[in-house]
């Protein structure tokens, strides 16, 4: 392991946070430790926003929204981006609108992704473009497009989605701005993967502009990653791999049980961790044909990546390898990586509160259901509050 890199320096980790901000984060992570409170809060938030109760919106804005989102629009995030940049951390600004439903909305979203690529190009503080497949096409189309009985309407809608992908990546390739494609639930992911692979074969022949997300809590993803790398080597394109563990575990397991098929998720956390780390090892075996974004708050996987970089002679700032954490989580990893000149990135979602609510609920649940995570954040914040002598 790379012994120089450590994540216990809370002074570096929280240098951007004032003491009142830290105290607030402390309270928030304490509350999120309780599954009952998270479940109650999520239901109240969903109901309150639907009923347009103003105090609910205010409450969300001053708690979870402030912790995990950069603001309502891009300009709200600009001070945050420049503060991050000061510490050597780059940003990915993600307009996290979920639940769009019309072609007009998908076209608008495509235009806004393309516009954002131009901003990324001009702004040194931003590293990647990003989008979620179902933000530019209907969920049901992704779900049904590859099925044998897909209707003509679905096929036509899928063609429109393909065109939107092409528009995004034509611009990305022209500007040389890499773009991350998020991964979602397994039952829509095959169609999204098909498009991502097509885009890679067209646009990743020289620079890597297309990064697909591999959710390593899925036991079939290591094999898939291997197949993609092989295909890339054979056909002359590179594979951009964003590795994450995956955010929809409960939903995946519940559906598999309900419909009576084998769960696509690894049998336990240890198996997911091994799968994730093996994916990192696999990418490094083919590092000249791959780009890697390690999207994780896991210290051990981060250390493994840094030691493989050292072993393979990949320098910390090498453009082939980046580390990304979600805004509001694991500052000890992001800022300590940046302090050691690694490509350290914060993914910052933004958007109107009612649109980012599903994202916020996922973050709250992640910090509840994942053993250790809340403890980890709380322990670090507590340590820093004590270091500042305010706890």
Ligand X SMILES: Cc1cc2nc3c(=O)[nH]c(=O)nc-3n(C[C@H](O)[C@H](O)[C@H](O)COP(=O)(O)OP(=O)(O)OC[C@H]3O[C@@H](n4cnc5c(N)ncnc54)[C@H](O)[C@@H]3O)c2cc1C
Q: Determine if 324 is a binding residue for ligand X (CB under 6 A).
A: yes
Smallest gap from residue 253 Cβ to ligand X (A): 9
Q: Which of 10, 100, 134, 296 binds ligand X (CB under 6 A)?
A: 296
Residue 67 Cα distances to 64, 144, 241, 326, angstroms: 5, 36, 27, 10
Q: At 335, give phi and psi (nearest 5°).
A: -75, -35
Closest Cα partner for 292 from 341, 89, 304, 300? 304
| Angle separating helix axes 299-311 and 331-339, nearest 10 degrees | 20
Side-chain half-sphere exposure of 294, counting CA atoms within 13 A: 34
Cα Rg of the chain (Å, integer): 20
Smallest gap from residue 138 Cβ to ligand X (A): 19
Q: Determine if 264 is a binding residue for ligand X (CB under 6 A).
A: no
Q: Which of 74, 109, 221, 297 binds ligand X (CB under 6 A)?
A: 297
Our CB check for ligand X shows the closer of 100 and 301 to be 301
Closest Cα partner for 94 from 122, 73, 123, 108? 73
Tokens of 284: 């490094």
Antiparallel, parallel or unpaired: β 290-295 and 210-215: unpaired
Our CB check for ligand X shows the closer of 135 and 154 to be 135
Smallest gap from residue 91 Cβ to ligand X (A): 11
Q: Which listed range, 202-210, 304-312, 321-329, 335-343, lies at the site for ligand X (CB under 6 A)?
A: 321-329
Task: Write the burial class of residue 29 (CB in 10 Å: 0-12 exposed, 13-18 middle, 19+ buried).
Answer: buried
Using CB under 6 A as the binding criterion, the count of chain residues that bind ligand X stands at 27
Smallest gap from residue 332 Cβ to ligand X (A): 13
Q: Which listed range, 7-15, 74-82, 98-106, 294-302, lies at the site for ligand X (CB under 6 A)?
A: 294-302
Tokens of 219: 């036991």
Our CB check for ligand X shows the closer of 117 and 280 to be 280
Smallest gap from residue 1 Cβ to ligand X (A): 17
N- to C-terminal Cα separation, the chain: 34
Q: Determine if 182 is a binding residue for ligand X (CB under 6 A).
A: yes
Q: Are 306 and 336 in contact (CB under 8 A)?
A: no
DSSP per residue, 195-239: HHHHHHHHH-SSS--EEEEEETTBTTHHHHHHHHHHHHHHHT--E
Give, as ranges, the residues between 348 and 387 that touch ligand X (CB under 6 A): 366, 370, 373
Our CB check for ligand X shows the closer of 56 and 309 to be 309
Our CB check for ligand X shows the closer of 217 and 350 to be 217
Q: Determine if 210 is a binding residue for ligand X (CB under 6 A).
A: no
Q: Give dist(CA 274, CA 183) in Å, integer.
A: 20
Q: Are 2 and 323 in contact (CB under 8 A)?
A: no
Q: Which of 154, 204, 298, 367 binds ligand X (CB under 6 A)?
A: 298
Smallest gap from residue 23 Cβ to ligand X (A): 24
Give, as ranges, the residues between 226 and 255 that touch ligand X (CB under 6 A): 244-249
Our CB check for ligand X shows the closer of 244 and 381 to be 244
Our CB check for ligand X shows the closer of 243 and 339 to be 243
Give, as ranges, the residues between 36 and 65 that touch ligand X (CB under 6 A): none
Binding residues for ligand X (CB under 6 A): 182-183, 213, 215, 217, 244-249, 265-266, 268-269, 272, 295-298, 324-326, 347, 366, 370, 373
């Amino acid at each position: 392991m790379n012994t120089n890199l450590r994540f216990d320096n809370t002074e570096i980790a929280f240098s951007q946070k004032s003491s009142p901000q830290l105290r607030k984060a402390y309270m928030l992570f304490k509350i999120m430790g309780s599954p009952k409170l998270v479940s109650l809060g999520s239901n109240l938030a969903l109901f309150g926003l639907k009923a347009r109760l103003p105090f609910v919106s205010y409450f969300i804005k001053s708690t979870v929204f402030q912790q995990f989102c950069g603001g309502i629009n891009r300009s709200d995030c600009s001070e945050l981006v420049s503060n991050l940049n000061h510490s050597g951390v780059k940003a990915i600004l993600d307009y996290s609108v979920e639940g769009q439903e019309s072609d007009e909305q998908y076209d608008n979203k495509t235009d806004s992704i393309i516009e954002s690529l131009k901003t990324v190009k001009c702004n040194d503080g931003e590293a990647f473009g990003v989008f979620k497949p179902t933000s530019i096409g209907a969920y049901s189309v992704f779900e049904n497009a590859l099925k044998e009985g897909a209707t003509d309407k679905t096929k036509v809608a899928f063609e429109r989605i393909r065109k939107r992908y092409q528009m995004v990546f034509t611009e990305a390739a022209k500007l040389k701005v890499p773009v991350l494609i998020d991964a979602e639930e397994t039952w829509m992911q095959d169609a999204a993967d098909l498009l991502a692979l097509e885009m890679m074969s067209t646009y990743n022949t020289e620079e890597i502009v297309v990064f697909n997300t591999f959710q390593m809590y899925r036991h079939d993803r290591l094999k898939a990653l291997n197949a993609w790398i092989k295909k890339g080597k054979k056909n002359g394109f590179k594979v951009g791999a964003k590795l994450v563990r995956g955010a929809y575990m409960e939903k995946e397991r519940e559906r598999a049980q309900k419909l009576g098929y084998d769960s696509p998720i690894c049998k336990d956390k240890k198996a997911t961790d091994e799968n994730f780390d093996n994916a990192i090892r696999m990418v490094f075996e083919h590092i000249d044909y791959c780009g890697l974004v390690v999207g994780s708050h896991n210290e051990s996987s981060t250390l493994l990546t840094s030691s493989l970089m050292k072993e393979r002679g990949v320098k910390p700032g090498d453009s082939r390898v980046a580390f990304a954490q979600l805004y509001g989580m694991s500052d000890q990893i992001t800022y300590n990586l940046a302090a050691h000149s690694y490509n350290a990135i914060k993914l910052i979602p933004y958007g109107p509160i009612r649109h980012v609510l599903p994202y916020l609920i996922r973050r709250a649940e992640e910090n509840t259901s994942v053993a250790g995570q809340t403890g980890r954040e709380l322990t670090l914040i507590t340590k820093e509050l004590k270091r500042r002598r305010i706890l």
